[in-house]
Structure 1
Amino acid sequence: MSIEKNIETVKDFFAAMGSDDPQDLLALVAEDIEWIIPGQDWALAGTHRGHAGVAAVIRQASQEIEMTYPTPPEFVAQGDRVLVIGVATGRIKATNMPFHDEWIFDITVRNGKLTKIKEYIDTQALARASAVSGPGNPGTTPDDGSDLRAS
């Protein structure tokens, strides 16, 4: 496939992530896709495989995160790889904590389908925004406005 077609496929994938129909998204990924989200102490971190893994991580993300993209991402491609460079801002719903995430997605496209996604994201910013107060954590402010920090 041409580089231009690979970029269009990736753009379609990003558009489909905001869709209410998961089939729009799954139609763009290979059956054996591997999606790697790095990090620890963050619910979305891990390696997600196949259509079931992609559907699960998208569903979980929509339940846990409110996110916007203040500027359109940049697409850089060579061969079957497309790098998507962008910025996301938002909040983690459970903690009501905001985050700012500068990210890169390294995406492999073969035969018109995404076969591998590896994210390079600010996992620490997302883990901090996701953290609930406890030993070693100074606390967060939950949705009800009460302060969880120890006095």
Structure 2
Amino acid sequence: MSATTKDVIEGWIRALNTSDLDGVLSRLTEDVTWHVPGDFLGLSGVHRGHSEVVALLGLLATVFEPGTLRVEPHRMITGEGAAALECTTTARVLDGREYRNRYAFLFDIPDGRISAIHEYLDTDYARRVLFPDSATVPE
């Protein structure tokens, strides 16, 4: 039995919440695109393919304590080959402060794997909490 669109998104959330990189990648097509808004060097822009997604998720380790990232879903709308997710993402910043931001994700999911992710968040809040002394993400 093939996974439903809802199953794919729930599995993606579970993999993120347990720091299971292989689990995240297994739900993405090889040529996935992940669109992140804002002007954070390294984080913002379009990330293409598994290697760039690995690099994107690796950057989170430079700002969050390992194992603290959690995606808390509030609402999910699924359809044939697409989904929308409204959630709160929480984590502990390396300096001990709490990060808590609202997100929306739009997913393209042809054939049971995510081919595109469009991420939306309060980028001003993210900048103030994650990079208070810098205009860009450290490289």
Name the TM-score, length of structure 2 as normaliser. Answer: 0.79
Distance 1:22 1:67 in 2: 13
Task: Give TM-score scaled by structure 1 length.
Answer: 0.74
Give the number of equivalent residue pairs: 131
Displacement of 1:47 in angstroms is: 1.2
Higher RCO (CA < 8 A, seq sep 6+): 2
Q: 1:103 and 1:32 mapped to 2: Cα distance?
A: 23
Match of residue 37 from structure 1: 36
- Aligned partners of 1:74 and 1:124: how far apart in 2? 23
Partner residue, 1:139: none
* Other structure's SS at 2:109 match: strand
Q: Is the 8 A contact 1:100 1:125 kept in 2?
A: no
**Aligned match of 2:113:** 113
Query: What residue identity is the alignment partner of 2:93?
Result: I
Q: Which stretch of structure 1 is more off in the superposition, 105-114 or 16-25?
A: 16-25
Sort the Cα spacing of 1:133 and 1:54 in 2 relative to 1 into closer, same or farther, 3 A.
closer
User: Residue type of the partner of 1:59?
Assistant: G
What CA distance in whole angstroms lies between the structure 2 residues aligned with 1:59 and 1:76? 28
**What does 1:72-111 correspond to in 2, within 5 Å?**
72-93=73-94, 96-111=96-111
**How much does 1:18 deviate?**
2.9
Q: Between the two proteins, what is the percent identity of the paired residues?
A: 21
Q: Give a deviation string over 1:68-121, Cα, whole Å, max 9, x none.
A: 44x54321012211001111233432x544433111000110111100000111
SS at match of 1:64: coil
Which residue in 1 is equivalent to 2:59? 60
Q: What 5-or-longer segments of structure 1 have no aligned partner?
A: 137-151
> What is the root-mean-square deviation in Å for CA atoms of aligned residues?
2.5
- Answer whether contact 1:17 1:58 (CA < 8 A) is retained: no
Which of these two proteins has the greater Rg computed from alpha carbons? 1
